[in-house]
């Protein structure tokens, strides 16, 4: 393979400055973390063996369930907490 020629980065994306895009202040994060344990949150996951990763993607695309698809990488049938 040949080397990738160098060129000025600005020609690729045209950025003029680096800025933060976070819209969360430290105070807001502290308030959220104090509130989070008191909010009843229920997560839903659907476990798929790694060999069925394409099935998991198909199910997500088709809206066959709410929640998250989780791939079981070691075949144990359980998720590490």
For residue range 23-65, list pLDDT tens digits in order: 788 899 899 999 989 998 888 999 999 999 999 999 999 999 9
Domain contains 3: no
Cβ contact 53:72 at 8 Å: no
Phi then psi for residue 42, to 5 deg, are: -120, 120
In terms of Cα–Cα distance, which of 80, 39, 49, 81 is closest to 69? Answer: 49
Tell me which residue range forms the domain holding 19: 9-72
38 is a domain residue: yes
In this prediction, residue 15 carries a pLDDT of: 61
Q: What's residue 60's pLDDT?
A: 92
Q: How many domains does the chain have?
A: 1
Question: Rounded CA gap, 62 and 33, in Å?
Answer: 34
Residue 80 belongs to a domain: no
Residue 20 lies in a domain: yes
Asked if residue 48 belongs to a domain, the reply is: yes
CA distance 65 to 45: 9
What does pTM read for this prediction?
0.49
User: What's the pLDDT score for residue 72?
Assistant: 93
């Amino acid at each position: 393979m040949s080397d990738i020629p160098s060129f000025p980065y600005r020609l690729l994306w045209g950025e003029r400055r680096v800025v933060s895009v976070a819209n969360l202040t430290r105070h807001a994060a502290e308030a959220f973390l104090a509130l989070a344990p008191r909010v009843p949150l229920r997560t839903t996951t659907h476990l798929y063996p790694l060999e069925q990763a394409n099935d998991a993607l198909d199910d997500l695309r088709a809206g066959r369930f709410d929640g998250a698809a989780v791939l079981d990488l070691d075949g144990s049938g359980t998720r590490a907490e």
